[in-house]
Structure 1
Amino acid sequence: MRFLLSVILLASSALLFSSPGYAQQSPEQAIRQLMQQQTAAWNQGNIPGFMQTYWQSDSLLFIGKNGITHGWQATLERYKKSYPDTAAMGKLQFNLLEFKQLAPDLFFLVGKWQLQRTAGNLEGHFTLLIRKLNGAWKIIADHSS
């Protein structure tokens, strides 16, 4: 009986620690998850949730068709102004094209974005600098066109 209990506990531990919550993700997997989180928030009409993937700092850099925006709060306000409702936001889809590791805690990501909207579809490309800060991957610079 004691042997059977030991086997069950060992098997349970192996299952528990191999689950996604305990498995060690590669940086690319973690960044893909970050981008999925961003897409999900956008498609729910949740701009503040979308912005949780960005570095909450005055040093955040966003470059778009209207020029440069500095800082997390200013970038949030820019998104709210450009996309005032869910119809303007549409449904977002990313195609992640290239991952380049620049340092152990820094990645350069190139991708394509598409918005499907009743008011007319939009699409373009983006480059992101994504850094691991305090254990979490965050977008520190975004150039979207």
Structure 2
Amino acid sequence: MRTKNLLLALGFAASITSCSSLKQSQPHASANAEIRQLLGEQAACWSNGDLACFMTPYWKSDSLLFVGKSGLTYGWEQTMANYKLNYPDAAAMGKLTFDLKEMRPLATETVLVVGKWHLARTVTEGDVEGHFSVIFKRFPEGWKIITDHSS
């Protein structure tokens, strides 16, 4: 009888733990799906030559941090200006695809995304690709990129 009660108690505890971890993972699954959708839309914007649309997921703040081959850039406006300078037209922009490698929750409202980007272009520079890590933070208006490190 004692063994039976012990097994029932352990089974009950395991089911509570299982339900608890399921509840914790559901917000992360939802966040990951929302972020994947944003990145898909962002790649489509780029591929259509629409930088303003591409910049929509970025935090429109002077505190946005972009790290690239030229070093650190602070702020949404400067990041946009750099994109315009380096990609002056749709041909230079090419077609963008992302290959997401990992998504890690850093906190309840913050997610790290690591992946690979590829630009298919017909211009003389040809195709280019590299890796990126972005940090998304949930704001009242939705998920926004607060830090982007692309190489």
Q: Between Structure 1 and Structure 2, which shows a larger proportion of helix residues? A: 2
Question: Aligned partners of 1:36 and 1:97: how far apart in 2?
Answer: 14
Deviations 1:28-71 (Å, cap 9, x if unpaired)? 00000110110111011000100001000000000111111100
Check if 1:99 corresponds to 2:98: no
Cα drift, residue 134 of structure 1: 1.1
Check if 1:112 corresponds to 2:116: yes
Higher alpha-carbon deviation: 25-34 or 107-116? 25-34
101, 111, 127: which one aligns with 2:133: 127
Question: Aligned partners of 1:55 and 1:35: how far apart in 2?
Answer: 14
Q: CA RMSD in A?
A: 1.2
64, 68, 90: which one aligns with 2:68: 64
Q: Which residue is equivalent to 1:52?
A: 56
66, 78, 81: which one aligns with 2:82: 78
Q: Which residue is equivalent to 1:137?
A: 143
Question: Aligned partners of 1:137 and 1:115: how far apart in 2?
Answer: 24
Q: Which residue is equivalent to 1:4?
A: none
- Give 1:126's aligned amino acid: F
Query: Matched residue pairs, number?
Result: 122
Secondary structure in structure 2 of the residue aligned to 1:80: helix
TM-score of the two chains, using structure 1 as the length reference? 0.82
TM-score of the two chains, using structure 2 as the length reference? 0.79
Segments of 5+ residues of structure 2 without an aligned counterpart are 1-26
Larger Rg: 2
38, 55, 62: which one aligns with 1:34: 38
After the TM superposition, which residues 13-32 of structure 1 pair with which residues of structure 2 at under 5 Å, given as runs?
26-32=30-36
Question: Aligned partners of 1:91 and 1:57: how far apart in 2?
Answer: 27
Secondary structure in structure 2 of the residue aligned to 1:26: helix
Segments of 5+ residues of structure 1 without an aligned counterpart are 1-23
